[in-house]
């Protein structure tokens, strides 16, 4: 029996790609093992969004240098594979396969070449009409399933490597998406997450011609689904119809992730984000005017080249204005091929670090306040796990908050995948604590 081990870095797109890769490997006769030591084939599905993410794969690979020639094979998949291509064979000579995400549908052929002893197997073509679809996706989470609706990205944000690593935008036919969602609902999944680098620019290539809002409404109406989420949205393509569809369909979760990146219009302009602060705020108003209680989260980059203290202050004031429920924040990192490398006035690591700390402190205060406002409220949670260390169940609210709670029977209660109502009793910056009210 041939065995493989896979480790995944990066975003949900990568997590879901790995599920597809695992399904394909299993259908090709491989079986999955839990450690690289046990495996004949070790795969790393990589992320190159920031330099630190990229370094991770090379540090993993370097710990296996001694295995060179011992029959174990190494493969690099995903964004670093696409970005670095054949250079990976020079940097890490024990790697014998390098495959970008647009070529995973060729994996069966590539595995044949690998097994035949080819030392430099590559799948790096980005020039593809194919959207990787496989009947084999092996999903680990039995309740929440990811579905890809659009691959690649046609924007050209000045800092971002994704258009180079995932290629041009390709939308998947709506019938294929809806069939997969129906099939998942029939087999017991209650939560679905629609994925794409920019889901808002979804354009159905089939005659039905759905846009994202209409697709969302059709998915929401599939019997059996209780929660539908989507990520990621780009403010430029985010239209009011999306909020209208959410208003009409309670199955769509109370959460929108709308990455802003900066609160300064001047920085947004240099980032080539294609919207101003005011235009972004208009979208926030649509969301806040919804009769649903929609949580808003975002991504922020601090220290983009040329970001002045005044620009940074504008990002801080945006946080005050929006009152985000949560955010991901990053120091700007130079990425190969991206337009921002050529800009003047790169900031020092120290200054970027200083700004990041200030931003995170501010947001922490906002989250403490926002979460405390929920004390006493009843929240429906999907139970996602059990924490042995604390003896508590881990639930997630529609707004995507983590809510921990105890149950008299502890782990024996077997609540995984159940929906129940909990009353919030305590709160912290990153999670809530509650007690179950009843099983619903
Ligand atoms: N440096 C820092 N952060 C980045 N992101 C994307 N590219 C970079 C970069 N070069 C962040 C953005 C994006 C998130 C996924 O990662 O905030 O929304
Ligand atoms: Fe990382 Fe972006 Fe690739 Fe996702 S798409 S794995 S975040 S580089």
- Identify the pLDDT of residue 63: 85
Pocket test for ligand 2, best of 56, 166, 330 (most atoms within 8 A of CB): 166
Cα(14) to ligand 2 centroid in Å equals 7
- pLDDT per residue as tens digits for the range 127-152: 776 665 666 678 878 889 999 999 99
| From 7, 10, 257, mutation site for ligand 2 pocket: most ligand atoms within 8 A of C-beta | 10
Mean pLDDT of 55-62: 93
Cα of 288 vs centre of ligand 1, distance in Å, is 25
pLDDT higher than threshold 70 for residue 400: yes
Residue 17 predicted with pLDDT over 60: yes
Atom of ligand 1 nearest to the CA of 11: 15
Q: Pick 280 or 139 by higher pLDDT.
A: 280
Q: Looking at residues 34-49, what average pLDDT do you find?
A: 96
Q: What is the pTM of this model?
A: 0.95
Q: What is the per-residue pLDDT for 125?
A: 92
**CATH class of the region 2-123:** alpha beta
Confidence of residue 67 (pLDDT cuts 50, 70, 90): low
Q: What is the pLDDT of residue 71?
A: 81
Candidates 3.80.30.20, 3.30.465.10, 3.40.50.970, 3.40.50.720; correct CATH number of 144-372?
3.80.30.20
What HEC string does the chain produce?
Answer: CEEEEEEECCCHHHHHHHHHHHHHHHHCCEEECCCCCCCCEEEEEECCCCHHHHHHHHHHHHCCHHHCCCCCEEEEEHHHHHHHCCHHHHHCCCEEEEECHHHHHHHHHHHHHHHCCCCCEEECCCCCCCCCCCCCCCCCCCCEEEEECEECCCCCCCCCCHHHHHCCCEECCHHHHHHHHHHHHHCCCCEEEEECCCHHHCECCCCCCCEHHHHHHHHHCCCCCCEEEEECCCHHHCCHHHHHHHHHCCCECCEEECCCECCCHHHHHHCCCCCCHHHHHHHHHHHHCCCCCCEEEEEEEECCCCCCHHHHHHHHHHHHHHCCCEEEEEECCCCCCCHHHHCCCCCCHHHHHHHHHHHHHHHHHHHHHHHHCCCCCEEEEEEEEEECCCCEEEEEECCCCEEEECCCCHHHHCCCCCEEEEEEEEECCCEEEEEEEEEC
Domains 144-372 and 378-436 equal at CATH topology level: no
pLDDT over 90 at 78, yes or no: yes
CATH code of the region 378-436: 2.40.50.140
Per-residue pLDDT at 9 exceeds 60: yes
Distance 132 CA to ligand 1 centre (A): 24
330 Cβ below 6 A of ligand 1? yes
What confidence tier does 246 reach under pLDDT thresholds 50, 70, 90? very high
pLDDT more than 90, % of the chain:
92
Determine what percent of the chain is predicted with pLDDT higher than 70: 97
Q: Average pLDDT for residues 325-351, to the nearest whole number?
A: 97
In the predicted structure, residue 323 carries a pLDDT above the cut 60: yes
47 lines ligand 2 (CB under 6 A): yes
Write down the domain spans for the chain.
2-123, 144-372, 378-436
pLDDT for residue 132: 58
Other beta carbons less than 10 A from residue 389's beta carbon? 5
Task: Compute, in angstroms, the gap from residue 335 CA to the centroid of ligand 1.
Answer: 10
| Residues belonging to the chain | 440
């Amino acid at each position: 029996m041939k065995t493989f081990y896979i480790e995944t870095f990066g975003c949900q797109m990568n997590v879901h790609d790995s599920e597809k890769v695992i399904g394909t490997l299993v259908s090709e006769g491989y079986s999955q093992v839990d450690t690289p030591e046990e495996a004949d084939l070790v795969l790393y599905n990589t992320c190159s969004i920031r330099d630190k993410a990229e370094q991770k794969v090379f540090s993993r690979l370097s710990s296996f240098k001694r295995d060179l020639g011992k029959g174990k094979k190494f493969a690099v998949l995903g964004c670093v594979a696409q970005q670095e291509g054949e250079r990976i064979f020079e940097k890490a000579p024990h790697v014998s396969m390098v495959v970008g995400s647009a070529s995973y549908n060729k994996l069966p052929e590539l595995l044949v070449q690998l097994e035949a002893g080819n030392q430099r197997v590559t799948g790096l073509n980005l020039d593809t009409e194919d959207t990787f679809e496989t009947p084999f996706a092996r999903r680990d989470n039995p309740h929440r399933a990811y579905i890809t609706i659009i691959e690649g990205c046609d924007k050209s944000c000045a800092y971002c490597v994704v258009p180079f690593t995932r290629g041009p935008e390709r939308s998947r036919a709506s019938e294929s998406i809806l069939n997969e969602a129906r099939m998942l609902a029939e087999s017991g999944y209650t939560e679905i997450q629609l994925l794409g680098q920019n889901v808002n620019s979804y354009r159905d290539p089939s005659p039905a011609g759905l846009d994202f809002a209409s697709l969302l409404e059709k998915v929401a109406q599939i019997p059996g689904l209780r929660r539908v989420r989507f990520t990621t949205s780009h403010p430029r393509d985010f239209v009011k119809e999306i909020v209208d569809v959410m208003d009409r369909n309670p199955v769509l979760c109370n959460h929108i992730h709308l990455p802003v990146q900066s609160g300064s219009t001047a920085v947004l302009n240099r980032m080539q984000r294609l919207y101003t602060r005011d235009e972004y705020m208009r979208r926030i108003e649509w969301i806040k005017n919804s009769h649903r209680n929609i949580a808003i989260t975002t991504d922020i980059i601090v220290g983009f080249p040329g970001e002045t203290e005044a620009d940074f202050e504008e990002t801080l004031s945006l946080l005050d204005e929006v009152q985000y429920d949560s955010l991901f924040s990053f120091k700007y990192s130079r990425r190969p091929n991206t337009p921002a490398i050529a800009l003047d006035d790169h900031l020092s690591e120290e200054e970027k670090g200083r700004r990041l700390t200030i931003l995170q402190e501010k947001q922490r205060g906002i989250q403490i306040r926002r979460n405390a406002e929920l004390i006493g409220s009843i929240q429906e949670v999907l139970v996602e796990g059990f924490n042995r260390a604390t003896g508590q169940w881990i639930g997630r609210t529609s707004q995507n908050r983590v809510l921990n709670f105890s149950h008299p029977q502890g782990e024996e209660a077997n609540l995984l995948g159940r929906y129940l109502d909990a009353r919030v009793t305590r709160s912290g910056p990153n999670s809530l604590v509650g007690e179950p009210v009843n099983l619903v």
